Amino acid sequence: MKIVDKRSLDEENLAKIEREIQILQQLNHPFIVRLHEVIRTERYLYIVTEYVSNGELFDMLMDRGRQTEAESRRLFQQIVSAVAYCHAHGIVHRDLKAENLLLDTRGNIKIIDFGFSNHHQPGQLLSTWSMMGVSPMCGHVGVILYILV
């Protein structure tokens, strides 16, 4: 659960949180964390998501080191499946990294932290890093594959 004190945010950052909520409400994929509920009070936003208990992919790699080719392929296929799903729905994550990939009790990937995400249409220039749409995500996914093996 993420608890956001609305009074500590300016309008721009509050709008980003609202966009993240709106995007998470659109997503339903086995390798993307699910949004269960948003509770709004005058002061706080309570963002209730699926509990993913086995920590970050980053921490697992730091503890265990590189993975076997078979395990790397399995995890990479899950990441690509989730990213392709997002792109098919006009959503780009824009912050894909090992720290934003959690592992569930079965060792499956769950993409989290859609705080930088946004809607995208083909050919649209995104302000983040002044790059075109989904093509930068290919590089991020490639880096994740590299650190897996």
**Residue 47 contacts residue 9 (beta carbons within 8 Å):** no
Can you tell me the distance from the alpha carbon of 40 to that of 4, in angstroms, rounded to the nearest whole number?
A: 10
Can you tell me the distance from the alpha carbon of 51 to that of 30, in angstroms, rounded to the nearest whole number?
A: 13
Does residue 95 carry a catalytic annotation? yes
Query: For the CA atoms of the chain, what is the radius of gyration?
Result: 16
Q: Is the dihedral of CA 137, 141, 142, 143 positive or negative?
A: positive
CB atoms closer than 10 angstroms to residue 138: 11
**Catalytic pick among 10, 63, 95, 104:** 95
Give the residue numbers marked as catalytic. 95
